[in-house]
Amino acid sequence: MSTPAKACPQRTCVALRQVLPPAELLRCVVQVGSDGARTIVPDPQRKLPGRGAWLTPTMEAYALAEKRRALPRALRVPVGTSTDAVGQYIAALQRPGESPPS
């Protein structure tokens, strides 16, 4: 008999609703500025505190998440919360020869 495979954690992309391993997704969290303004930011190291939402790191998935307002809903913040930092990070990932901001 073979030994059962070790269970791998799975996460669901908020835009595409696909279940994938965390290594294939980008975690996003809410960051509160000194002025109290909330911003949704990427968390590529998956270490920032707080509730996380997982997104496939493609511009298509980001556009769909924006259209559906999926990131603010998943993170339980007001719909108008900025997601620009996530879009910029994903755009930098897709540009050849450029490393994304950390």
What's the CATH code of the domain at 75?
A: 3.30.1230.10
Count of structural domains, the chain: 1
- Distance between CA atoms of residues 102 and 90, nearest Å: 12
- Tell me, yes or no, whether 89 lies in a domain: yes
Q: What is the span of the domain harbouring residue 85?
A: 11-94
Contact partners, residue 24, CB within 8 Å, separation at least 6 = 56
- pTM here? 0.85
- Distance between CA atoms of residues 78 and 63, nearest Å: 18
Contact partners, residue 31, CB within 8 Å, separation at least 6 = 38, 39, 40, 41, 48
- Tell me, yes or no, whether 2 lies in a domain: no
Tens digits of residue pLDDT in 27-86: 999 999 999 999 999 999 999 999 999 999 999 999 999 999 999 999 999 998 999 999
Tens digits of residue pLDDT in 16-38: 999 999 999 999 999 999 999 99
- Tell me, yes or no, whether 6 lies in a domain: no
- Distance between CA atoms of residues 30 and 41, nearest Å: 6
